[in-house]
Homo-oligomer: A and B are copies of this chain.
Amino acid sequence: MGGEISLEELQLAARNHGLPLEALRWDLTPVGLHYLLIHYDIPEVDPAAWRLELDGLVGAPLSLSLDELRARPAREVVATMECAGNGRALLEPHVVSQPWLLEAVGTARWRGVPLRSLLDEAGAAEAAVEVLFTGLDRGVEGEEEQDYARSLPLDDALHEDVLLAYEVNGVPLPPQHGFPLRLLVPGWYGMTSVKWLARVTVLAEPFDGYQQRRSYRLRREEDEEGIPVDRIQVRALMIPPGIPEFATRARVVRAGEHVLEGRAWSGEAEVAGVEVSDDGGVTWAEAELGPAALGRWAWRTWRCTWDARPGERELCCRARDESGTVQPLEPPWNLGGYANNAVQRVAVTVVE
């Protein structure tokens, strides 16, 4: 591998946790292995004093305690969440930001109040076009001091699976996942699911804050308006087979028959299939795709048998979805380093 990253980027990599790829083996990612991207600092929240404010273009603003939210009818959604910057460190030219390789993903069972039920309760006005979500995490970005804030078009916000979540995998949110309450928008890249939620505001105009107008847009030049990043692009990842060398993470595999396994997901459409290559993507074989056992928004298993012949091999996997999208062999470059869903490549040495 070529490329180098600075100590400033390393500071981000040391804070923002990735999924070790062997953890793809679990349907639900154990807490502590799910990826985390925290723009500023994890805020300290006193749950007794905390309230969610729901205001803006509504008939009756709401101000709710955590107990009041927990007393309302709840819904659970299993969702695979991925960072929009996953794959960024593999791009050339180099893009400076959180340097993810492939590991910015995780799947969890989130429980909370459907946002729609609260918007119904407050009575969103006819003129509403977007809903803005503001977190308690504060910092500086693009020379603007800001609370982290992102919006959703009203139609997307009204989807029945959009939750204000207070539990993950059966326990209260840990601090790093947004305690006491976070937004969860299944199928969208993770920046959408605002953590440490303080305020939900119904808007008559599209939000033009930093995280919407300047960040999280696909563009090749600074002065382009660009296309907003939204739904998760199709991707498959494999559990690297064999055993690793400590410093290089190079894999050693015994010759013979192996089962290759992994997960595939897409926020755009249902996953349609996964192929596997052991020659760096020259030839491909279809893998067996598991059922959508965890629901529409979660990753699916895939597996195939692989006859490992001695020598140097490059394993790849690529998924496609029902929208017709196939993972590219080469990464699509953009200025922010977003939505790089190029195929994973795992170099292995097969030994007798």
Q: What residues make up the interface of A, taking CB atoms closer than 8 Å to B?
A: 1-8, 10-15, 17-18, 20, 22-23, 25-26, 30-34, 36, 38-42, 44, 89, 96-97, 99-101, 103, 138-141, 145, 174-177, 240, 243-250, 252
Q: How many copies does the complex hold?
A: 2
A33-B176, A40-B246, A139-B246 are contacts. A2–B8 as well, Cβ < 8 Å? no
Residue of B nearest to A143 (CB): B245
Determine if B140 and A244 form an interchain contact, defined as CB atoms under 8 angstroms apart.
Answer: yes
- In the bound complex, residues from chain B placing their C-beta under 8 Å from that of A175 are 23, 26, 30, 33
Q: When the two chains form their complex, are residues A243 and B138 in contact, meaning their CB atoms are under 8 A apart?
A: yes
In the assembly, what is the distance between CA of A240 and CA of B139, in Å?
13
Whether the pair A103, B243 counts as a contact (CB closer than 8 A) is no
Bound-complex Cα distance A89 to B8 (A): 11
In the complex, the answer to whether B41 meets A243 with C-beta atoms within 8 Å is yes
* CB<8 Å pairs between A and B, sample of 9: A4-B5, A10-B13, A10-B89, A11-B248, A15-B18, A31-B31, A31-B32, A33-B174, A40-B243
Chain B residues positioned under 8 Å from A174 (CB to CB): 30-33
If the complex has contacts A30-B175, A174-B30, A176-B30, are A244 and B41 also in contact, measured as CB distance less than 8 A?
yes
**Contacting residue for A1 out of B7, B17, B177, B249, CB 8 A:** B7
Q: Do residues A42 and B14 form an inter-chain contact, with CB atoms below 8 A? A: no
| A44 near B25: Cβ-Cβ < 8 Å | yes
Give the residue name and chain of the B residue nearest to A38 (CB). Answer: B20
A347 to chain B, nearest CB (A): 12
Contact present for A4 and B2 (CB under 8 Å): no
Instruction: Assess the A99–B138 pair: CB atoms within 8 A.
Output: no
In the bound complex, residues from chain B placing their C-beta under 8 Å from that of A145 are 243, 252
The distance in angstroms between the C-alpha atoms of A204 and B139, with both chains bound, is 57
B39 touches A8 (CB 8 A): no
Measured in the bound complex, the distance between the Cα atoms of B86 and A14 in whole Å is 11
A273 to B1, CA, bound (A): 45
A32 neighbours in B (Cβ, 8 Å):
17, 31-34, 36, 174, 176-177
Interchain CA distance A12-B10 in the complex, whole Å? 11
Interface pair B11/A252, CB less than 8 Å apart: no
